[in-house]
Amino acid sequence: MADADSLAEMGISDENNSVSAGDDADAEEDETSLDGSLAAGRHKKTHKKHKRKQQRDLPVNTSDSEDSAPAKENAMAAKSSIDVESPEPSTSQQSSQEQSSASHNLAPVQKSIEAVGRHLQQLQLASVATTPKSLEDASKRRYQFWETQPVLGFDETPGDANCAIEEDKSQDKIRQETLNLPQGFEWNTLDITEVSQLEELYTLLNENYVEDDDNMFRFDYSPNFLKWALQPPGWEKEWHVGVRVSKSKKLVGFISAIPAHIQIYDKRKKMVEINFLCVHKKLRSKRVAPVLIREITRRVNCKGLFQAVYTAGVVLPRPVASCRYWHRSLNPKKLIEVKFSHLGRNMTMQRTLKLYRLPETPQLPGFRKFRKEDLNVTFQLVNEYLERFDLSPRFTESEFEHWFMPREGIIESFVNEVDGKVTDFISFYALPSTVMHHPTHKILKAAYAFYMSTTKVTRTEIMKDALIVAKQLGFDVFNALDLMDNKEFLENLKFGVGDGNLQYYIYNWKCRQMPSNKVGLVLQ
């Protein structure tokens, strides 16, 4: 949350002090969309279809209120007030009044029509402002900011193209100075090797980053997780971009990029992964995000890179793929208590606990924790497996070590040995969420499927052992996208489908869309 300072004390004095991206600044849902999103959602309410990412992919709450919960409560109170004492008489009330008064007086009828018209207009405006979750809804609206960017529009067909939309620029054609911010704000390149600045970033994300649609869960990226996610081999300090209030030096915005080698169909490109776009809640109407996006684009261009991959829980122009989150209950009682999931029809708590019960220990004889001496063989296993997909990373050995060597509370990796040889690999990362407004539970501990490769056992077999270990480690839920070959185990291992999609995007690239099972890329 924001501190006790008022908006003015933060340096945000009035509505005219907007952070402009030019006349292209888009609707505020676009301001918080380039992230790892709370896409998972809660489990659906049916027995097999659970409600939702906690993330990883529900869109960020873009209200201007400091705390979304009071805003929701106030809205409920307003609804109740309208129901009890609406300022506009209902049609039936008007009809009764008209019959008891001079029947030829049309003023009350006209007043009612005008009131209905106002309400309809408000509903239409609310509908337009609603963040689109489907291609159909998204194609009906304008994206003023994204229409200025090198991305495909919804009405464009790439055909068989698989290439950049805009050609690479020479350095003399790239702006070398930072973009302009309005008076009262300043750019700041964060040095996350400094504990104090890392803590500032943690606080900004913890209090303002991705929440689910009902504002019940918010990602809780730990400082150590952020260092892991933001400092892979080849990371650039200049790509950790912050916005501060000039007077107080308070951090109120952030966006990041990390280098990656990405295979797109038959082309391999060095590009960046964009993540952690976050704007302070009190700045959500100030159009800060478009400026952050343009500034990170400029800085990446200065290093000779012109493509980026990113994900979002909302539909923007235009996804190359759409994946769905699935959830496997590990601690069903807690998940039900925090309303992440619900008891299914004709299900008792005892039946639910029995349904999701797992063995106490892994079932594969050769299943064990990943060690440094396993690096060479697992590096080859994973990269060879990823060649099967149309959108996937290509790890270097140093990148593979960074992403997959176990780190307590961050990344867990395991191998399976057959006849003394490592033949199978699986990994998952830890990303808890803060449980908001619950009297007892404060943290929901979630594991997210990362990368795997199997040659001797089935994906179901090795994932089952991963679930068992995750349960042993105290995780409450295990989340997985329906990408790669994950559909082989989702239903077999009692995963429930979530209610949120994670959209994949490639900046400055045009290619045909692909189904989720051809996606081999996972962003944190």
pLDDT of residue 110: 43
pLDDT of residue 140: 84
Q: What are phi and psi of 342, to 5 degrees?
A: -135, 155
Of the listed ranges 48-62, 143-157, 383-397, the least confidently predicted one is 48-62
pLDDT of residue 131: 66
Please report which helix (H) or strand (E) contains residue 254, including its range: strand 251-264
Mean pLDDT throughout 64-78? 29
* Mean pLDDT, the chain, integer: 81
Q: What's the CA gap between 143 and 256, in Å, rounded?
A: 22
pLDDT cut 90: percent of the chain above it: 65
pLDDT of residue 218: 83
Measured CA distances, 106 to 90, 91, 99, 517 (Å): 15, 13, 11, 62
Confidence of residue 2 (pLDDT cuts 50, 70, 90): very low
Mean pLDDT throughout 87-112? 42
From the list 367, 355, 340, 360, the residue with the least C-alpha distance to 500 is: 340
pLDDT of residue 58: 27
- Half-sphere exposure at residue 269, Cβ-oriented, CA atoms within 13 angstroms: 23
pLDDT of 94 > 90? The answer is: no
**Any long-range contacts for 377-383 (C-beta under 8 Å, 24+ apart)?**
377/421, 377/422, 378/404, 378/413, 378/415, 378/422, 378/425, 378/453, 381/422, 381/423, 381/424, 381/425, 381/453, 381/455, 382/425, 382/451, 382/452, 382/453
From the list 523, 469, 61, the residue with the least C-alpha distance to 325 is: 523
pLDDT of 15 > 90? The answer is: no
pLDDT of residue 499: 83
Confidence of residue 105 (pLDDT cuts 50, 70, 90): very low
From the list 367, 329, 317, the residue with the least C-alpha distance to 493 is: 329
pLDDT of 57 > 90? The answer is: no
Torsion of CA 419, 403, 524, 231, to 10 degrees: 180
pLDDT of residue 136: 80
The domain at 325-501 falls in which architecture? 3-Layer(aba) Sandwich (3.40)
pLDDT of residue 214: 65
Neighbours of 397 (CB within 10 A): 13
pLDDT of residue 415: 99
pLDDT of 162 > 70? The answer is: yes
pLDDT of residue 34: 57
Q: What are phi and psi of 248, to 5 degrees?
A: -95, -15
Mean pLDDT throughout 415-421? 96
Of the listed ranges 385-399, 424-438, 454-468, the least confidently predicted one is 424-438
pLDDT of 25 > 70? The answer is: no
Residue pLDDT, tens place only, 224-252: 999 999 999 999 999 999 999 999 999 99
Confidence of residue 211 (pLDDT cuts 50, 70, 90): low
Which amino acid would we find at residue 120? L
Query: Higher confidence at residue 89 or residue 282?
Result: 282
pLDDT of 515 > 70? The answer is: yes
Residue pLDDT, tens place only, 283-329: 987 888 999 999 999 999 999 999 999 999 999 999 999 999 999 99
Query: Higher confidence at residue 325 or residue 90?
Result: 325
pLDDT of residue 392: 99
Strands 446-454 and 477-481: parallel
pLDDT of residue 31: 41
Query: Higher confidence at residue 75 or residue 449?
Result: 449
Q: What's the CA gap between 268 and 162, in Å, rounded?
A: 11
Query: Is residue 367 within 8 Å of residue 462, measured between CB atoms?
Result: yes
pLDDT of residue 54: 35
Query: Higher confidence at residue 463 or residue 74?
Result: 463
Query: Which residue(s) pair with 185 in the sheet?
Result: 245
Strands 477-481 and 267-279: unpaired
Domain residue ranges of the chain, discontinuous segments joined by +:
325-501
Q: What's the CA gap between 128 and 122, in Å, rounded?
A: 10
For CA atoms 80, 85, 87, 88, the dihedral sign is: positive
Query: Higher confidence at residue 410 or residue 10?
Result: 410
pLDDT of residue 346: 87
Radius of gyration of the chain (CA): 25
Of the listed ranges 30-44, 339-353, 425-439, the least confidently predicted one is 30-44
Residue pLDDT, tens place only, 368-409: 999 999 999 999 999 999 999 999 999 999 999 999 999 999
pTM score, whole prediction: 0.79
Q: What's the CA gap between 448 and 427, in Å, rounded?
A: 9
pLDDT of 55 > 90? The answer is: no
Mean pLDDT throughout 48-75? 32
